[in-house]
Amino acid sequence: PEPPPLRLFFALWPDAGVRETLGRLVRSLRRTVKGRWVEPDKLHLTLAFLGAVPAERLPELTAMTGDLDLPPFELALDRLEYWQRNRVLCLGASATPPLLIELVGILNSKLGRAGFPVERRPFRPHLTLARKAEAAWSAMPLKTSVTWPVDRVTLVESRLSRAGPLYLVRAEKQWRA
Ligand code: 2AM
């Protein structure tokens, strides 16, 4: 029998330090905003969502990950965004670093050439903090922005279950300055 397809996406996966900062932010926000909060160890920023992919294509995507090579850069997540339409609360960036736009562009062109579906809308970085959230505003600057030193890209598998998604790192490429 064929193995089931994998639900895959490319993401910025926080290291321990960034995760610690994000966890602190979530703990303070939880006091004032109602919602279903993403567990701190599952927070991530999606770069390209592939959806269901035949398992046999994983080696190709692993190789693609290994070919992604950029200079490290810094991402400042400096504002909260509340999307009333789907009641999602996100961390966003008032400025997208050019290297992040370049990374997503390279990813999308590699994915497109390999025949994967590609997002056509311009990339706007966002990190989902909570779903089914209740907020009375649509954007709010953070007093202290989250500074994320980005030096790697990660291919992640998402396994959905009733207990929520389980994320497995399937491939990763770290860059040197
Ligand atoms: P979200 O956080 O905005 O929900 C794993 O599911 C990751 O892929 C999540 O970060 C999720 O974004 C994103 N994702 C899920 N379905 C998607 C889709 N159809 N298009 C783009 N991103 C998606």
Cβ 10 under 6 angstroms from ligand 1: no
Handedness of CA 128, 119, 165, 156 (dihedral sign): negative
Q: What percent of the chain has pLDDT over 90?
A: 97
What is d(CA 32, CA 37) in angstroms, rounded to the nearest whole number? 12
Q: How do beta strands 73-83 and 139-150 pair?
A: antiparallel
The tens digit of pLDDT for each residue in 12-36 reads 999 999 999 999 999 999 999 999 9
CA–centroid distance, 67 to ligand 1, in Å, is 23
Do 87 and 132 touch, CB atoms closer than 8 A? yes
Q: Which residues contact 109 (CB under 8 A, 6 or more apart)?
A: none
Task: Quote ipTM for the complex.
Answer: 0.90
CA–centroid distance, 158 to ligand 1, in Å, is 10
Cβ 46 under 6 angstroms from ligand 1: yes
Terminus-to-terminus CA distance in the chain, angstroms? 45
pLDDT at residue 76 in the model: 98
What does pLDDT average to over the chain? 96
Cβ 42 under 6 angstroms from ligand 1: no
The tens digit of pLDDT for each residue in 53-86 reads 999 999 999 999 999 999 999 999 999 999 999 9
Q: Is the pLDDT of residue 165 over 90?
A: yes
